[in-house]
């Protein structure tokens, strides 16, 4: 008897796959394709169990589809640019590129040790100049189309380090290095006009039927399309305030107006106000904008001692400045309707402002003074002048039309989505390929001069701004247009640019005259399955959709959406908390693999929870799957040698009962595992079915080892190895070879269930009517009495004999007969 020596087996098979180029693929029009994608990792230093979970899911599907005859592409790469590498450079004096490449090397080794089925020849790293070259090329095309543009935008600025900080470097308003208070500064920055695609991004969600609703909902909310109206409130003493509202039907209930602290009118409105009013406004203005956006600050406001006129009611309403109003949404000013907006109600109660009900629900009798919570639902208008009595939906239309006719407003749509700010004032990113010339203005770098390379010799001190600014050879360049002396842009691109199109580059990773090969795209796209964390529901997954639409408008692809099916896997928890590097509770797979092997780790992760649900990591939980694999090993070990030497005979038509039972279970298991993997990705129940199969083989083993049942044992063991192979490929390759089977399991055909064999065994019961057998019924041995009786009464001959009579007694004798007494 041999031991399950997982380490030797796993490394040996990994070596064979590598040498045999087993997972390398090319386009093959004769076969159906399957593009199986996982989110490419950031090379932070170590693969952790969260990554492993993501990649185990895709690896099972990739291997399964391959066995089903698909031409499978399952590539991997590295999202290798970004802040942590630059932070490491500042803190430890190691160049970002060295830090990144070292991390990639060690993570690659970890992935290879897990036996994932990657075509390594297609590996890409976004920090390769041959990759970011094409970021620059795309940027230039967008610049030509007006999709890329430059505008002022605020950044976090550390006055002590004299540098721009990323949001994550300025958490809580303090610099991550020197803890100084972070200031806000306006800088010229580059944007991509994603808002030009906002309606399309919303409308095309209708076609994303294989995306989870929760992802689409998050995207919809992020884009935040709100139909509403804009209305002007005239300010006493001159000028007017334009407000945006989604509820113009409630305008008679508007008892005050609130401006965002950064609203451009605030300065003139407070010009004559007392110092303490101006100071209070300045304090609101200084509050952390991100915290305000997230609703994490207490609602506060300042009355500026000015009034406006409600254009519908003519009523005089006070003007406030409030921290809960944001400049980035709508017009940066709102009409406050406390009776019908919870946020406004909280503010009104705090400052004792009037609350007036103007919408009554069916049968409702709300009053402003006693209102505990704002009523935001449907109803009819009351106390609304000529509009009283209208239904709210009808009122929205009529009142917007009225505002337009009177010249003080109109129906409009507003979006929460903002254009994508891609400028980063940092080194470790894709240089934005433009040059500033005093004579020609902003000039794009010529295509033939791409890529604009990152200079190797930039200083990393963390002070004095972007390191690129200090490299004279980088910044001083001739103007591409007039040849005069010019200055190169030092901003680099947001790394979300890199991840917006990387899945196209896998198709032709070494192509030098374009980002990808169109024929390859036609063959492989769309991505059939994309697995990754739910935290990427917005940003990455919206940017990727946007990028594809831009590419389509540039004539590079012919479709609108890159991903057919999206599957967000659940997180990995440990001791009830999400496993993450920042919490320091991650598990490195290396130790687990050393102790139990890669197959055990894979099986444990897949078995522990349904893939879309959170899984709790447990040190003890891993022992079960390990024991299971040892059991499988010993089971095959007992029979492999003799089975390998036997010639496989056709299955005899008549088999002894235990062999029939075994075959039934084998074919039922094929059905279950296939369904679980194929549609639902219920990989955990697929594993459970395989565990049950092993139990059944054990139970029947003594009766099928010798004699005519032996064929069933052989079939059971071979099927077990094939079905288990996508989950635990190394041990299965080894066992397959020991069974004397060739070629590799990965190239075997997935087993087909024979529905007849899989069918549950049935027994025949006679049906007696008044003591005489009048018919028969076939049922499974487990069928209940009630069901047997129902079936018996449906038998035509039995019906005949019961016609016109009443059943006075019925007995089911288990396994034998049904007896009916009728008069």
> Whose Cβ is closer to Zn ion: residue 464's or residue 781's?
464
According to DSSP, the residues that pair with 187 across neighbouring strands are: 153
Q: How far is the CB of 29 from Zn ion (least distance, A)?
A: 49
> Whose Cβ is closer to Zn ion: residue 179's or residue 283's?
179
Size of the site for Zn ion (CB under 5 A): 13
Q: How far is the CB of 435 from Zn ion (least distance, A)?
A: 8
**Residue 161 in contact with Zn ion, rule: CB under 5 A:** yes
Q: How far is the CB of 440 from Zn ion (least distance, A)?
A: 3
Residues in CB range of 16: below 8 A, 6 or more apart = 22, 733, 744
d(CA 495, CA 43): 13
**Residue 659 in contact with Zn ion, rule: CB under 5 A:** no
> Whose Cβ is closer to Zn ion: residue 178's or residue 286's?
178
Asked if residues 250 and 444 have their Cβ atoms less than 8 Å apart, the reply is no
> Whose Cβ is closer to Zn ion: residue 178's or residue 291's?
178
Selected range binding Zn ion among 167-175, 248-256, 728-736, 741-749, rule: CB under 5 A: 167-175
**DSSP 3-state assignment of 733?**
helix
The tokens of 202 are what? 């919303």
Give Cα separations from 516 to 323, 519, 810 (angstroms): 48, 9, 75
Could you identify the residue written with the tokens 């040996």?
Answer: 12
Q: How far is the CB of 460 from Zn ion (least distance, A)?
A: 15
Residues in CB range of 274: below 8 A, 6 or more apart = none
Among 178, 519, 613, 763, binds Zn ion (CB under 5 A): 178
Q: How far is the CB of 167 from Zn ion (least distance, A)?
A: 15
Selected range binding Zn ion among 33-41, 76-84, 476-484, 752-760, rule: CB under 5 A: 476-484
Q: How far is the CB of 160 from Zn ion (least distance, A)?
A: 5
Burial class (CB in 10 A: 0-12, 13-18, 19+), 537: buried
Selected range binding Zn ion among 93-101, 294-302, 431-439, 712-720, rule: CB under 5 A: 431-439
> Whose Cβ is closer to Zn ion: residue 187's or residue 821's?
187
Q: How far is the CB of 442 from Zn ion (least distance, A)?
A: 10
Q: How far is the CB of 432 from Zn ion (least distance, A)?
A: 17
Within 180-219, which residues bind Zn ion (CB under 5 A)?
Answer: 180
Selected range binding Zn ion among 160-168, 297-305, 345-353, 543-551, rule: CB under 5 A: 160-168
> Whose Cβ is closer to Zn ion: residue 105's or residue 178's?
178
Selected range binding Zn ion among 159-167, 304-312, 337-345, 524-532, rule: CB under 5 A: 159-167
Asked if residues 567 and 54 have their Cβ atoms less than 8 Å apart, the reply is no
**Residue 158 in contact with Zn ion, rule: CB under 5 A:** yes
d(CA 192, CA 187): 16
- DSSP class per residue in 449-497: G---PPPTT----S-SS-GGGG-HHHHEEE-TTT-SEEEE---EE-THH
Asked if residues 181 and 535 have their Cβ atoms less than 8 Å apart, the reply is no
> Whose Cβ is closer to Zn ion: residue 98's or residue 179's?
179
Asked if residues 460 and 90 have their Cβ atoms less than 8 Å apart, the reply is yes
Q: Which of 746, 688, 738, 748 is nearest to 717 (CA)?
A: 738
Within 763-792, which residues bind Zn ion (CB under 5 A)?
Answer: none
Main-chain phi, psi angles of 140, to 5 degrees: -65, -35
Among 437, 527, 606, 777, binds Zn ion (CB under 5 A): 437
Among 150, 177, 242, 776, binds Zn ion (CB under 5 A): 177
Among 21, 109, 350, 439, binds Zn ion (CB under 5 A): 439
Among 21, 98, 109, 160, binds Zn ion (CB under 5 A): 160
> Whose Cβ is closer to Zn ion: residue 462's or residue 658's?
462
> Whose Cβ is closer to Zn ion: residue 198's or residue 466's?
466
Burial code of 239-265, b = ≥16 C-beta within 10 A, e = fewer?
eebebbbebbbbbbbbbbbbbbbbbeb
Asked if residues 420 and 195 have their Cβ atoms less than 8 Å apart, the reply is no
Selected range binding Zn ion among 271-279, 430-438, 553-561, 600-608, rule: CB under 5 A: 430-438
Q: How far is the CB of 451 from Zn ion (least distance, A)?
A: 21
Q: How far is the CB of 209 from Zn ion (least distance, A)?
A: 49
d(CA 290, CA 171): 10
Among 479, 606, 615, 789, binds Zn ion (CB under 5 A): 479
Q: How far is the CB of 164 from Zn ion (least distance, A)?
A: 11
- DSSP class per residue in 376-406: -S--EE-S-GGGTT-BHHHHHHHHHHHHHHH
Q: How far is the CB of 182 from Zn ion (least distance, A)?
A: 8
Asked if residues 440 and 245 have their Cβ atoms less than 8 Å apart, the reply is no
> Whose Cβ is closer to Zn ion: residue 484's or residue 652's?
484
Selected range binding Zn ion among 178-186, 535-543, 727-735, 787-795, rule: CB under 5 A: 178-186
d(CA 689, CA 80): 40
Selected range binding Zn ion among 145-153, 177-185, 451-459, 558-566, rule: CB under 5 A: 177-185
**DSSP 3-state assignment of 47?**
coil
**DSSP 3-state assignment of 189?**
strand
Q: How far is the CB of 179 from Zn ion (least distance, A)?
A: 7
The tokens of 210 are what? 């294989």
Length of the chain: 823
**Residue 487 in contact with Zn ion, rule: CB under 5 A:** no
Main-chain phi, psi angles of 411, to 5 degrees: -70, 145
**Residue 482 in contact with Zn ion, rule: CB under 5 A:** yes
> Whose Cβ is closer to Zn ion: residue 225's or residue 487's?
487
In this structure, how many other beta carbons lie within 10 angstroms of the beta carbon of residue 495? 22
The answer to whether the bond into 451 is cis (omega within 30° of 0) is: yes
> Whose Cβ is closer to Zn ion: residue 184's or residue 616's?
184
Handedness of CA 260, 261, 263, 265 (dihedral sign): positive
> Whose Cβ is closer to Zn ion: residue 367's or residue 485's?
485
Q: Which of 145, 146, 166 is nearest to 156 (CA)?
A: 166
Bin 740: left if φ > 0, else alpha if -120 < ψ < 50, else beta.
left
> Whose Cβ is closer to Zn ion: residue 47's or residue 170's?
170
Q: How far is the CB of 258 from Zn ion (least distance, A)?
A: 35
Among 461, 481, 520, 580, binds Zn ion (CB under 5 A): 481
**DSSP 3-state assignment of 211?**
coil
Q: How far is the CB of 446 from Zn ion (least distance, A)?
A: 12
> Whose Cβ is closer to Zn ion: residue 274's or residue 484's?
484
Main-chain phi, psi angles of 53, to 5 degrees: -60, -50
> Whose Cβ is closer to Zn ion: residue 162's or residue 762's?
162
According to DSSP, the residues that pair with 241 across neighbouring strands are: 233
Selected range binding Zn ion among 39-47, 172-180, 336-344, 596-604, rule: CB under 5 A: 172-180
Within 504-543, which residues bind Zn ion (CB under 5 A)?
Answer: none
Asked if residues 403 and 409 have their Cβ atoms less than 8 Å apart, the reply is yes
Among 94, 401, 411, 440, binds Zn ion (CB under 5 A): 440
Could you identify the residue written with the tokens 């906002």?
Answer: 198
> Whose Cβ is closer to Zn ion: residue 313's or residue 481's?
481
Q: Which residues bind Zn ion (CB under 5 A)?
A: 158, 160-161, 175, 177-178, 180, 437, 439-440, 479, 481-482
């Amino acid at each position: 008897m041999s031991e399950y020596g997982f380490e030797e087996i796993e490394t040996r098979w990994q070596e064979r796959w590598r040498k045999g180029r087993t997972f390398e693929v090319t386009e093959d029009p004769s076969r159906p394709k399957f593009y199986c994608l996982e989110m490419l990792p950031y090379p932070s230093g170590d693969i952790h169990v969260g990554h492993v979970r993501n990649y185990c899911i895709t690896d099972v599907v990739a291997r399964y589809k391959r066995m089903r005859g698909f031409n499978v592409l399952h590539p991997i790469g590295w999202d290798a640019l970004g802040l942590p590498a630059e932070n490491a450079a500042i803190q430890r004096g190691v160049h970002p590129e060295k830090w990144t490449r070292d991390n990639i090397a060690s993570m690659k080794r970890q992935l290879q040790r897990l036996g994932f089925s990657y075509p390594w020849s297609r590996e890409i790293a976004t920090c390769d100049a041959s990759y970011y070259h094409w970021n620059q090329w795309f940027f230039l095309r967008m610049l030509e189309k007006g999709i890329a543009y430059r505008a002022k935008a605020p950044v976090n600025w550390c006055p002590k380090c004299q540098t721009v900080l990323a949001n994550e470097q300025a958490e809580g308003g303090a610099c991550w290095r020197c803890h100084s208070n972070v200031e806000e500064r306006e800088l010229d920055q580059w944007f991509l006009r994603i808002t030009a695609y906002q309606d399309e991004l919303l409308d095309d969600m209708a076609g994303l039927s294989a995306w989870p609703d929760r992802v689409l909902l998050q995207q919809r909310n992020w884009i935040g399309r709100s139909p509403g109206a804009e209305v002007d409130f005239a300010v006493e003493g001159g000028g007017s305030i334009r407000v945006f509202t989604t509820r113009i039907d409630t305008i008679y209930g508007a008892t005050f107006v609130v401006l965002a602290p950064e609203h451009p009118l605030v300065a003139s409105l407070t010009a004559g106000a007392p110092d303490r009013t101006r100071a209070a406004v300045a304090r609101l203005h200084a509050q952390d904008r991100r915290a305000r956006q997230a609703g994490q600050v207490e609602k506060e406001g300042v009355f500026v001692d000015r009034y406006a006129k409600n254009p519908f009611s003519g009523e005089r309403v006070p003007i406030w400045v409030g921290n809960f109003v944001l400049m980035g949404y709508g017009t940066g000013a709102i009409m406050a309707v406390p009776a019908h907006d919870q946020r406004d109600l909280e503010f009104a109660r705090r400052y004792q402002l009037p609350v007036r009900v103007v919408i009554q629900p069916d049968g409702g009798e709300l009053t402003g003074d006693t209102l505990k919570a704002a009523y935001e639902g449907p109803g009819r208008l009351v106390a609304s002048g000529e509009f009283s009595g209208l239904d709210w939906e009808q009122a929205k239309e009529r009142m917007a039309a009225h505002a337009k006719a009177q010249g003080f407003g109109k129906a409009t749509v507003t979006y929460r989505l903002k254009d994508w700010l891609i400028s980063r004032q940092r080194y470790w990113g894709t240089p934005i390929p433009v040059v500033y010339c005093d004579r020609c203005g902003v000039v794009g770098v010529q295509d033939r001069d791409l890529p604009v390379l990152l200079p190797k010799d930039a200083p990393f001190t963390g002070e004095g701004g972007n390191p690129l600014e200090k490299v004279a050879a980088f910044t001083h360049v001739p103007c591409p247009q007039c040849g005069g002396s010019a200055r190169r842009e030092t901003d680099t691109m947001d790394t979300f640019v890199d991840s917006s199109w990387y899945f196209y580059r896998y198709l032709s990773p070494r192509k030098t005259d374009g980002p990808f090969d169109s024929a390859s795209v036609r063959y492989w796209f769309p991505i059939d399955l994309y697995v990754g964390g739910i935290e990427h529901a917005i940003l990455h997954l919206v940017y990727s959709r946007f990028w594809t639409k831009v590419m389509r408008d540039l004539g590079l692809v012919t479709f609108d959406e890159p991903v057919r099916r999206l599957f967000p896997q659940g997180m990995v928890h440990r001791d009830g908390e999400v496993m993450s590097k920042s919490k320091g509770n991650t598990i490195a797979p290396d130790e687990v693999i050393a102790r139990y092997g890669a197959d055990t780790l894979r099986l444990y992760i897949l078995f522990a929870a349904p893939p879309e649900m959170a899984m709790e990591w447990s040190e003890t939980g891993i022992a079960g799957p390990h024991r299971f694999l040892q059991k499988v090993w010993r089971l095959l070990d007992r029979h492999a040698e003799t089975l390998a030497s036997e010639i496989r005979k056709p299955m005899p038509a008549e088999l002894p009962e235990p062999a029939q039972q075994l075959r039934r279970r084998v074919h039922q298991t094929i059905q279950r595992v296939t369904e679980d993997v194929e549609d639902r990705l219920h990989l955990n129940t697929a594993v459970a079915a395989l565990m049950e199969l092993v139990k059944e083989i054990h139970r029947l083993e003594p009766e099928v080892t010798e004699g005519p049942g032996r064929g069933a044992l052989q079939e059971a063991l071979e099927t077990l190895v094939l079905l288990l192979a996508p989950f635990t490929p190394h041990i299965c390759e080894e066992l397959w070879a020991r069974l004397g089977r060739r070629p590799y399991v990965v190239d075997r055909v997935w087993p087909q269930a024979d529905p007849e064999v899989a069918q549950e065994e049935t027994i025949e019961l006679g049906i007696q009517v008044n003591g005489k057998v009048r018919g028969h019924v076939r049922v499974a041995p487990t069928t209940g009495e009630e069901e047997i009786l129902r079936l018996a009464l449906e038998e035509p001959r039995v019906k005949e004999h019961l016609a016109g009579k009443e059943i006075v007694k019925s007995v089911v004798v288990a396994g034998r007969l049904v007896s009916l007494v009728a008069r």
